[in-house]
Structure 1
């Protein structure tokens, strides 16, 4: 079931320099690009003062997805981001070298000023506060501004008698687009004495492969063909033949495990990878920082859950995996976008929709949530105060039987961070 992923990234930059006798040629006019689009400033050109580039605030912020409000009496410009991934309000005042970002003061290299009746502000400050990155090509006299918005994620906090628990809803497979994470997530992790996850996937589990094979193999004389519809079985055979595998290669296995195998085939061309998963990201950070990693569950308990599902539900799993294999869109995209934007309402709707299948909902969410909540309660009632950073699947957090609700029913105040 292991998938070996190699990420090769290469960047080759070639700079050519030429010497000339006599006077140096004039530098080309300054150009500013936002996500590869050239900004046309017309007569209100950017200017440089003491090495700091100043630009007309309105023209720049409109390019960065902000709405601008000007207060004539106070000479204050207030910019509000309209991008749902980056809730931000920036206030700047003419002649004042202190700006306010979401109400917090920030020092400027130069104060905003009026030039030809236009308000000019320091370019780099605005860009970096807005969740973008900035690059300057000295040769071309070109400034490039590119999107680098932080993912919001889903995080809550509960406290009792000096014990602190941060609850982070994770996505087990993720893409590069989900990084970097917002500062609050990393800052909360940095305070942790312990990391708690569903299962510690950052370490090898000797004998796990043999355990799974034994658990998922029919021992009653039946085969996969006896437990799924003829149409579904034929669809699987077609896929196996398509990839050059024997038609009966998976006959000895139960549908839930065959479903996982098909999912692994789908993942080969997907941008979403377990190696980029949010939980594994923090497990790797914990290992580097020598923070103990605790497990709320085990591989065995999770696998046994799948093995205990009825033939009906296992057949649905396999049908869904085969369907996903031939789809161009990745089924993880919706959940990924919810995580990036921190859309708790959409996440809650998704958790509620899962209740449509009672067997699946009870086993995958409700029953497991009850056990997890009991262990988290133990963290909060420990006699030696400590901080726990708990990372489990995002769907475990919300809804009628979510961890947030269960902890609130235990009497805890749980606040979203």
Structure 2
């Protein structure tokens, strides 16, 4: 997620699904136009992803390697900014002409599986065209839904607390593995009182963090078919958020909005922000301080609720070239040269061979690798909570409504009621 590409993955956390909230796919579609073939046996597959120019340059280099190894397979590429990608994908899928292979995320698997868009890659594994061996930390299961392999992970990340290290040092605060939410609150107070800065950027619109908090307490944001928490649960969470803003422990939301897309941490409005671990690269490029990764606070001093998340590659069910698509995905997740080109642009490589092939030399990338290694060593990683059809719309609503609340446009009770109303529609409609 390095440099510009990193902004795109942050958008996953902060705005996933917003572009699809008002659009739906038809249940039926005409035959997929998909990739094309030629008289000499060469086939062309279409590959789409979201990202910016830096990611495109890296991916095009990996495609050149793939086409050299598979001269009978040509890859036609297309990339967009995150929201534009899903608008275009939705239109293509509605017309029965999605790309043969495309970048995907956990919040969209059930959505597009329910609309008969995604190819179950399990058959290609059995045929020997795609290997699911050699993945790190159970990531080979990340793209499985109801026994179907709907996505193959290409890069891993996990939630973390990105901190402005000099500010924390000046405040005398020191986050450690196993610290509690009470410890976190005490650190926020120290930072406000001793360093003269808000402790946190405003974590209460971050769905994935709230998911971890719920998991620490025996619940989860999603079950397989709906929400896994109550209105009373969310009221408590957002009431604490409101108090944090009022007491200066959390940054002024109006100022945070004003400096977007720059983060509140890099903009020196807050000393910390909960986000994905590899976003620390972005903050380093945006800001002038030294930034680091701190562990997720816990309820009991042990359970963080964490899992490794991942971008993934999925295939269209209507592709004319499932074998070639599977070979392409296999190459992208196993070839060591691909890892050397991509680095940590999409997260830490998911297969061990690629992880070993790219050893970062920069301190920031080293810190990301060390953070994920620490999670494995601490034994805190669990299986990701399943996301139901409609999860992307719920996530977008959570972000938007939380921001409205933080800006004083809604009370906590109004915000909670609105979120549950919108979520009920998204998850049942």
TM range (shorter): under 0.3
TM-score (norm 1): 0.25
Q: Greater relative contact order: 1 or 2 (C-alpha under 8 angstroms, separation 6 or more)?
A: 2
More helix by share: 2
TM-score (norm 2): 0.24
More strand by share: 1
Bigger CA radius of gyration: 1
